[in-house]
């Protein structure tokens, strides 16, 4: 007999997951219009109140390169304020359960994070990034891989001394938009290197939507064979071919239980144009059509996870409402289908029912819920051709 229990078929698949939101950083960094500081504060607060506990707040890199984040310190200070702590307490949220992350690709940004920590407004966690394909790595960081690893080791030690967690990101796992195909074994080796120099956890990133479900399953199976603790591993999928939901499912089946997403599927490379002014960002974009870039949608991912019966900790309806607001903030239709179509409701949508069914069944002397003619046998009789 076929086994129908999904968790018996995939015994490593979790019953509970953590989904971090990275809208305000990764999502907004690609927008070519400055998103107001007040809007950022609003969404940071509302996402936390809706259930998010791991949230990327900002990028502490150079505002010259990424002016979208010129308000970085103000955002961190806002979330460290007595006002926000009090609001969390009133809503029954343990403030200490919230992890605030800031991206710090280079050492100057790490030093800035530590200074802010000393001032009482710094992040709990920072992030540095390597790509297994060196041309992509050079485009993002401006260094060779060996030089960057030495910098990352210094920075990780600094962060550990300062009480800040270091997340080591590994990118181009499933391919590079510059150098092409890559080897999954390299990414496993890079992940081991992060842990060996003291990283707290690892973000495994598909930054250009190269991943396919079989390779995602294969990679995370390799990762968990080599480093079995699921709390060390975060799955980060970009969406360019509308298949990232399949990658999420494959990662779940392999045993991954921590994911990242953005509202509306926002995100991509740092913008090289902001408002009316060209900016440096990280140079030319890797794609030709801006409609096909960004991360997997938080709204759609939550609906997917929720309808699988996996615990996630979010108020899904509140997130869907926020998603509709985000479209007004950004000023265009975003990529979430769930904000339009909602969830699959067990009670249905009876407002669309055609009137008269009950009366017709009564006239035909059919019982409520009767699906087959009364004279038919209780059990179907197998059909035999030619009889």
User: pLDDT tens digit string along 359-368?
Assistant: 999 999 999 9
Look at the alpha carbons of 86, 88, 93, 96 in this order and tell me if their dihedral is positive or negative. Answer: negative
How many CB atoms lie under 10 A from the CB of residue 89? 11
Please indicate, yes or no, if residue 288 is contained in any of the structural domains.
Answer: yes
Please indicate, yes or no, if residue 94 is contained in any of the structural domains.
Answer: yes
Q: DSSP letter at 235?
A: E
Boundaries of domain holding 95: 12-341
Mean pLDDT over the full length of the chain = 94
Helix-, strand-, coil-residue percentages of the chain, each rounded to 5:
45, 15, 40
Q: How many helices (H) and strands (E) does the chain have?
A: 15, 10
- Nearest Cα to 259, choosing from 220, 228, 222, 286? 220
Please indicate, yes or no, if residue 351 is contained in any of the structural domains.
Answer: no
Q: What is the pLDDT of residues 100-150, one digit of tens each?
A: 999 999 999 999 999 999 999 999 999 999 999 999 999 888 999 999 999
Left, alpha or beta for 377 (phi > 0: left; psi -120 to 50: alpha)?
A: beta
With tokens 């495994």, the residue in question is 204
Q: What pLDDT is attached to residue 218?
A: 98
Whether residue 287 is predicted with pLDDT greater than 80 in this model: the reply is no
Q: What pLDDT is attached to residue 242?
A: 81
**Any residues with CB less than 8 A from the CB of 176 and at least 6 apart, and which?**
131, 132, 133, 135, 136, 182, 208, 210
Stated pTM of the model: 0.93
By the 8 A CB rule, do 305 and 261 touch? no
Helix (H), strand (E) at residue 48: helix 37-49
Please indicate, yes or no, if residue 330 is contained in any of the structural domains.
Answer: yes
How far apart (Å, rounded) are the C-alpha atoms in residues 268 and 238?
Answer: 8
What b/e sequence results for 331-370 when a residue is b if at least 16 CB atoms lie within 10 Å of its CB, and e otherwise?
Answer: eeebbbebbeeeeeeeeeeeeeeeeeeeeeeeeeeeeeee
Residue 223: which pLDDT band, with cuts at 50, 70 and 90? very high
By the 8 A CB rule, do 28 and 269 touch? no
What b/e sequence results for 132-158 when a residue is b if at least 16 CB atoms lie within 10 Å of its CB, and e otherwise?
Answer: bbbebbebbbebebeebbebbbebbeb
CA 272 to chain centre: 23
Q: What is the pLDDT of residues 176-218, one digit of tens each?
A: 989 999 999 999 999 999 999 999 999 999 988 889 999 999 9
How far apart (Å, rounded) are the C-alpha atoms in residues 25 and 268?
Answer: 10
Q: What pLDDT is attached to residue 342?
A: 86
**Any residues with CB less than 8 A from the CB of 105 and at least 6 apart, and which?**
59, 61, 127, 128, 129, 140, 141
How far apart (Å, rounded) are the C-alpha atoms in residues 35 and 24?
Answer: 9
Task: Count the domains in the chain.
Answer: 1
Give the total residue count for the chain.
Answer: 387
CATH of the domain at 38: 3.20.20.70
Please indicate, yes or no, if residue 255 is contained in any of the structural domains.
Answer: yes
Q: What pLDDT is attached to residue 162?
A: 98
Please indicate, yes or no, if residue 314 is contained in any of the structural domains.
Answer: yes
Residue 289: which pLDDT band, with cuts at 50, 70 and 90? confident
Please indicate, yes or no, if residue 107 is contained in any of the structural domains.
Answer: yes
Q: What pLDDT is attached to residue 387?
A: 58
By the 8 A CB rule, do 235 and 259 touch? yes
Please indicate, yes or no, if residue 349 is contained in any of the structural domains.
Answer: no
């Amino acid at each position: 007999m076929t086994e129908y229990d999904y968790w018996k078929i995939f015994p490593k698949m979790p019953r509970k997951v953590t989904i971090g939101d990275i809208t305000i950083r990764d999502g907004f960094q690609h927008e070519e219009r400055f998103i107001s500081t007040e809007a950022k504060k609003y969404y940071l607060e509302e996402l936390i109140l809706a259930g998010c506990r791991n949230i990327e707040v900002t990028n502490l890199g150079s505002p010259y390169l990424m002016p979208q984040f010129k308000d970085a310190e103000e955002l961190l200070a806002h979330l460290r304020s007595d006002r926000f702590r009090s609001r969390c307490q009133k809503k029954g949220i343990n403030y200490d359960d919230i992890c605030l992350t800031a991206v710090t690709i280079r050492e100057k940004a790490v030093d800035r994070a530590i200074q802010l920590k000393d001032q009482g407004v710094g992040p709990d966690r920072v992030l540095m990034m390597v790509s297994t394909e060196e041309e992509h790595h050079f485009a993002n960081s401006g260094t060779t891989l060996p030089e960057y690893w030495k910098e990352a080791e210094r920075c990780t030690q600094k962060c550990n001394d300062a009480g800040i967690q270091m997340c080591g990101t590994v990118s181009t796992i499933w391919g590079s938009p510059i150098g092409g195909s890559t080897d999954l074994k390299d990414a496993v080796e890079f992940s081991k290197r992060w842990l060996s120099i003291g990283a707290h956890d690892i973000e495994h990133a598909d930054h250009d939507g190269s991943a396919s479900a079989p390779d995602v399953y294969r990679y995370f199976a390799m990762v968990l064979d080599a480093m079995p603790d699921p709390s060390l591993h975060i799955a980060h999928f970009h969406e360019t071919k509308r298949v990232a939901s399949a990658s999420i499912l494959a990662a779940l089946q392999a045993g991954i239980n921590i994911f990242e997403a953005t509202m509306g599927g926002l995100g991509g490379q740092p913008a090289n144009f902001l408002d009316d002014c060209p900016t440096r960002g990280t140079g030319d974009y890797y794609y030709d059509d801006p409609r096909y870039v960004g991360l997997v949608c938080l709204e759609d991912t939550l609906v997917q996870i929720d309808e699988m019966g996996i615990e996630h900790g979010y108020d899904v309806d509140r997130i869907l409402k926020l998603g509709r607001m985000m479209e007004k903030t950004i000023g265009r239709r975003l990529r979430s289908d769930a904000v339009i179509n909602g969830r699959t409701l067990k009670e249905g949508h009876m407002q669309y029912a055609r009137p008269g069914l009950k009366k017709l069944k009564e006239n035909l002397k059919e019982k409520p819920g009767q699906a087959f003619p009364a004279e038919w046998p209780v059990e179907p009789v197998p059909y035999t051709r030619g009889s």
